[in-house]
Amino acid sequence: MVSLWITIGLVMAAGGVASLGAYFSITGLGALFSGAIIAVWLMAGALEFAKFVLAAYLHQTWKVHNAVYKTYLTFAIVILSVITSVGIYGFLSDAYQSASSVLETETVKLESIKTQQSLVTAELARLNKMVEEIPATRVTKRMKMRAELEPVIQELNKKYNDGERVLTQSNLKIIEVKKKVGPLIYISKAFNMNIDHVVSALILILVSVFDPLAICLVIAATHAIESHRKPQQARDSQHSAAAQNESFQRPIPETVPVAVKMKQAERAVVTEDESDDVIVQMNFKDESEDKKVI
């Protein structure tokens, strides 16, 4: 018999893993079919509940059903487990994409800003070169050119400074995103793999363990509960059998009608009164005989 604390642990583990797996699967399937998300949630929830109940039922009644029915139920459980795994894969991949998409967006934005900064820098260099190409002897022309180009140069400098601020903000956001996917980046570097391939492999490993483990835990929990229930039922049946044997072996008391008991009591009282009268009469006779003798 499975010990009590292991049974409690199996029940808690089965409930936790099954609940989390159902949540991940329902949310992931809703993300895959977002056009009818409420209907998909209801369908996925009903299928998740039916899968675990069906697995426990099939485990307990395996010897009762025929081969065709058992094959169909097993096939249904496997298909439902595959659907759950697809939902979990969708949920985990969506969680990764929400972080990686921000990283990709900020990276593209960063590259675009850097390109614009390069163009601004090149334009400033070209304008300064135009001023420098004027001979030093022609100071008036140089000053006039500088005055004409000054508003353009100021606008370019302002655009460059704005770009630097945006670059700083993008770099800070990239650092925040890398904190979330930092371990994946280190794993991809360690195995010299693309980060997307690393994430796909990890998600497949989790999916291959998650739902089958939940089904096995549910079956193990039901088996442990049943192992505790059978000895209790056996003890209850033994107690009931012993009580029945005692009732059979106990002597049946003779039932005397109440009217008979009352008549017997009246007869006993009458006999006692008659005996007292006889004794009194005998005493009177003895006294009369003694007087005659005197």
What does the pLDDT look like over 245-277, one tens digit per residue?
555 555 545 444 545 445 555 555 444 444 444
- pLDDT at 250 (0 to 100): 52
What does the pLDDT look like over 151-177, one tens digit per residue?
887 888 888 888 888 888 888 877 777
**Domain extent listing, the chain:** 4-230
DSSP per-residue letters across 204-216: HHHHHHHHHHHHH
What does the pLDDT look like over 28-72, one tens digit per residue?
888 888 788 898 899 989 988 999 898 888 888 888 888 899 899
Q: What is the DSSP letter of 251?
A: P
Cα separation, 52 vs 84, in Å, equals 12
Average pLDDT estimate for 86-104: 81
Assign 233 a pLDDT band (cuts: 50, 70, 90): low
- pLDDT at 7 (0 to 100): 83
Query: Which residues fall within 8 angstroms of residue 258, CB to CB, at 6 or more apart?
Result: none
Structure tokens at 157: 């400098």
- pLDDT at 135 (0 to 100): 74
- If you average pLDDT over each of 97-101, 143-147, 210-214, 278-282, which comes out highest? 210-214
- pLDDT at 210 (0 to 100): 87
Query: Which residues fall within 8 angstroms of residue 187, CB to CB, at 6 or more apart?
Result: 198
Cα separation, 148 vs 177, in Å, equals 45
- pLDDT at 288 (0 to 100): 45
Q: How far apart are the first and last CA of the chain?
A: 103
- pLDDT at 249 (0 to 100): 54
Number of Cβ atoms within 10 Å of the Cβ of 173 = 16
The residue among 141, 123, 119, 120 whose CA lies nearest residue 131 is 141
HEC assignment per residue over 2-57: CCHHHHHHHHHHHHHHHHHHHHHHHHHHHHHCHHHHHHHHHHHHHHHHHHHHHHHH
